[in-house]
Amino acid sequence: MKKTNIQQKVQKFGRSLSGMIMPNIGAFIAWGLLTALFIPTGWCPNEYLGKLVDPMLKYLLPILIGYTAGKNIAGDRGGVTGAIATMGVVIGSSIPMFIGAMMMGPLGGWCIKKFDKWTEGKVKDGFEMLINNFSIGIIGLLLAIFGYMFVGDIVIWLTKTLSKLTVVLIDHHLLPLVALVVEPAKVMFLNNAINHGIFSPIGIEQANELGKSVMFLFETNPGPGLGVLLACWAFGKGATRQSAPGAIIIQSLGGIHEIYFPYILARPGLLLGAIAGSAAALGFYQLTDAGLVAPASPGNFITLPVMAPKGQTLIILGGILIAAAVSFLVSIPFMRGKEKSVEEDLHIDESRAGFINLIMFACDAGMGSSALGATRFRKRTSLAGLEVKVRNCAVDQVPDVTDLIVCQRGLAERVKDSNPDKEVVIIDNFLSDPALDRLLERLIRMEAEGSGEIAGQAGNDEEMAGNDGEMVGKDREMVGKEEEKGGKEEGLLRLENIRTGLAPESKEEAIRRAGKILHESGYVDAEYIDAMIARENLTTTYMGMGLAIPHGTSEAKAAVKKSGIVVLQYPEGVDFEGEKAHLIIGIAGVGDAHLEILAKVSEALEDEEVLERLSQNATAEEIYQTLNK
């Protein structure tokens, strides 16, 4: 259990870092192209256009990171505060302040969030705008001064510490161990600081004396990053796999190493691949007494061989390829592990070629709406005596063996981009959509035609299928999950977490109410509440038939401490984009523990009288008994 908690914290930290960078990848690419093309050692040197490089590196990118980090914590107000705070470290240091931005941005978002919570309900009417604007200005200014006076010095101290450690390793002829310092430092966006601030000055001095220096190869080798990106392309899923080819071009030809850092931040285990690749290359260069005559900038397949001494071009290229190969091989387990186990668990019957064997209901997190939709549709297929498997997952984790994907309209483009070879059925809600009725009719027709049965037989045997098929279907589809759960989890739904007779309020207020109860009950961290709003903004969690199931985004799973559910009853309803939700069920799920309650909800929806009672006048005790019986 302790190991799991540590792993979750590491993953949470990695996701938070990635969340600061990934939205700004376009800006990194713009800067990277400018660098590769127009700096003095670039493809098309241009002094005039090259003037754009440094301002983008020193100002634009750190401020964007600070804004995004603050916004991830406290919305637009957090973003503005984070940007102001970041400006302090940008001005207070002569080196690019990526790491400073990743410190000040979240700090700005956290401070404004705490201020807003402290003033909630205390601001008099008419003074809201005044307080909102001045609070950002004052808090942002104080943080900017703090960053200007202190944080920049901390980053500079960190840089000097890395310099001393690297020099010790070099003096003791332990070049491969340099990778233990260089690769983690690069991922923390200290690559330019350690390369131009440490390795290049020392390397120039060595080159003047010896004619070459291996120092120029420490940070600039594109091989470690290339291997990581190749593994993401070959074995990744969703956006990771789709974006990897473009990143490979930028990395290997453009020499823009920053392009692969977010991939490692999203999957921290990939750092081991980069370290292993770098160490292998440095070991090879040490054995061959390799080096460059001058700094290679940017570090790519073109500039490194160009800067090689006469007779060592192939050696330099060999070190790049060795780094890429080792990095690729070590990275594979960190890309394949989870996906392989998912597909093995599906047990697709190869004899059913030509049938639709696996249907995936997909939503952003694969936790709430898709789970309930899959549960309900699975029951319908079982009643019809169909052998099709119905599961749910996150949109970026659709297994390759999936035949058909069901998703809401707001996620359709994302699903199609990630799964271009899959059939996609687009619906407006997971419970009562005509597209699901047509899909069921199609499945029944396919089974009948494929087995030689007449189409009317399914209707004649419907009653028997309802009695026997349900048990068979549940045994066939759910046995793996029941064994995995190993029994019912206590405290999943508590009586005190059911609120009835609530007065109408806005959708956001209702979702925040559910999230607050989840947090106060110990199911989630506080940041999960904002993640529930972010998930709703992505696409509605309204399920149909008066039911909404708000939950966090896929990135917010790290904020879930344990599975929990809360139920809010609004007799007059809450507006969800023109639809009225009378039952709002807030969900935080670890694994599949919460699916049992969703199955109970699905059963309740089969009886209109039960659904009406739960939505209008049932007491908390009655709702609790209905969903826990």
pLDDT in tens, 154-180: 877 775 675 566 567 667 778 888 888
In the chain, % of residues over pLDDT 90: 22
325 vs 186, more confident: 325
Q: What is the pLDDT of residue 597?
A: 59
pLDDT at 561 (0 to 100): 82
Q: Spot the catalytic one: 111, 232, 257, 363.
A: 363
Whether the bond into 504 is cis, omega within 30 of 0: no
Is 582 designated active site?
no
d(CA 583, CA 546): 6
Please give the pLDDT value at position 455.
34
DSSP assignment of 497-521, as one string?
EEE-SPPP--HHHHHHHHHHHHHHT
Q: For residue range 118-142, list pLDDT tens digits in order.
A: 998 788 877 888 898 999 999 999 9
Q: Which of 221, 257, 263 is nearest to 36 (CA)?
A: 257
Quote the tokens at residue 286: 């040490």
| Alpha-carbon gap, residue 339 to 334, rounded angstroms | 10
d(CA 29, CA 297): 16
Tokens representing 318 are: 């060999």
Cα gap 321→67, rounded to integer Å: 38
Q: Is 311 helix (H, G, I), strand (E, B) or coil?
A: coil
Q: Which of 257, 393, 519, 551 is catalytic?
A: 551
Reported as type and span, the H/E element at residue 403 is none
Mean pLDDT of 287-313: 82
pLDDT of residue 428: 77
Cα(447)–Cα(93) distance, integer angstroms:
68
**Region of residue 379 (phi > 0: left; psi between -120 and 50: alpha; otherwise: beta):** alpha
Taking a C-beta distance cutoff of 8 angstroms, is the pair 368, 589 a contact?
yes
Would the pLDDT of 517 be above 60? yes
* 158 Cα distance to chain centroid: 28
Q: Could you tell me the pLDDT band of residue 270, with boundaries at 50, 70 and 90? A: very high
CB atoms within 10 A of CB 19: 20
Average the pLDDT over 234-249 and give the result: 78
DSSP-assigned states of every residue in 467-479: IIIHHHHHHHHHH
Q: CA-to-CA distance for 289 and 478, rounded, in angstroms?
A: 60
| Separation of alpha carbons 402 and 418, rounded Å | 13
Look at residues 450, 349, 361, 453 and name the one whose alpha carbon lies nearest to residue 399.
361
Q: What single DSSP character describes residue 59?
A: I
Pair of tokens at residue 88: 């302090």
Inter-residue contact 352 to 388 (CB < 8 Å):
no
The Cα 524–Cα 564 span in angstroms is 9
Residue for token pair 């006076």: 149
Query: Rounded mean pLDDT of 326-349?
Result: 66
User: What confidence score (pLDDT) does residue 22 get?
Assistant: 63
Closest among 383, 418, 425, 388 to 404, alpha carbons compared: 425
Q: Which residues lie closer than 8 Å to 623 by C-beta, 6 or more apart?
A: 498, 500, 567, 569, 614
Tokens 């997909």 -> residue:
362
Nearest CA to 555 out of 518, 530, 523, 576 is that of: 530
At what angle are helices 608-616 and 595-606 packed, to 10 degrees? 110
The answer to whether residue 232 is catalytic is no
- Using one digit for the tens of pLDDT, what is the confidence trace for 584-601? 988 887 655 556 556 666
CB 301 within 8 A of CB 256: no
Q: Answer with the residue of higher pLDDT: 216 or 405.
A: 405
Stretch 49-65: mean pLDDT, rounded?
A: 89
Over residues 554-570, the mean pLDDT reads 82
Residue type at 235? F
CB count within 10 Å of CB 537 equals 11
| Statement: residue 441 has pLDDT above 50 | yes
Sorting pLDDT into bands at 50, 70 and 90, what band is 64? very high
Helices (H), 24-127: 25-38, 47-50, 53-55, 61-91, 98-119
Check if the beta carbon of residue 236 is closer than 8 Å to that of residue 334: no
Rounded distance, CA 226 to CA 230, Å? Answer: 6
All structural domains of the chain: 52-171 (no CATH), 173-346 (no CATH), 350-485 (3.40.50.2300), 496-628 (3.40.930.10)
Residue 459, pLDDT above cutoff 50: no
